[in-house]
């Protein structure tokens, strides 16, 4: 049984592409697209790793990440942040808030898979 990833992304094409190739790679993939209810979904599915888009409807990925890192039960979950903007300030803000890793769109499927494998690998 593969690891469980929760993909929080509001762009249907990106969500479906990531869901498809990770599922084929043996991952269990749950998808969610609303920033306002993202924390409730993380609590509900308790994934091994979260892929979190910065630009979400109703609440930003940065806000979701801040809440996640302040939740004692959920804070250890690794988070891979995705953003369309490759701006240094987004990357530093994600790091400041506790993102485990960071990727800018567009990205390759292999890049996502490799980063996720690294995040769930036993240290």
CATH at 41? 3.40.50.2300
109, part of any domain = yes
Q: Which domain holds residue 19?
A: 4-118
Q: Is 48 inside any structural domain? A: yes
Number of domains, the chain: 1
Q: What is the pTM of this model?
A: 0.95
Nearest partner of 120 among 31, 11, 26, judged by Cα:
26
- Residue 117, preceding peptide bond in cis (omega within 30° of 0): no
Give me the pLDDT at residue 85, please: 66
98, pLDDT greater than 90: yes
> Is residue 70 one of the residues assigned to a domain?
yes
Q: Is 38 within the bounds of a domain?
A: yes
pLDDT for 84? 77
The pLDDT tens digits for 15-61 are 999 999 999 999 999 999 999 999 999 999 999 999 999 999 999 99
| Domain-embedded: residue 123 | no
Residue 54 lies in a domain: yes
């Amino acid at each position: 049984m593969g690891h469980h990833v929760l993909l929080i992304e509001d762009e249907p094409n990106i969500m479906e592409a990531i869901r498809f190739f990770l599922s084929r790679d043996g991952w269990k993939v749950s998808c969610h697209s609303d920033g306002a209810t993202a924390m409730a979904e993380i609590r509900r599915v308790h994934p091994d790793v979260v892929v979190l888009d910065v630009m979400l409807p109703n609440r930003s990925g940065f806000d979701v990440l801040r809440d996640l890192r302040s939740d004692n039960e959920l804070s250890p979950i690794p988070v891979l942040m995705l953003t369309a903007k490759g701006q240094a300030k987004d990357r530093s803000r994600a790091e400041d808030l506790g993102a485990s890793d960071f990727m800018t769109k567009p990205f390759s499927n292999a890049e996502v898979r490799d980063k996720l494998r690294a995040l769930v690998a036993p240290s």
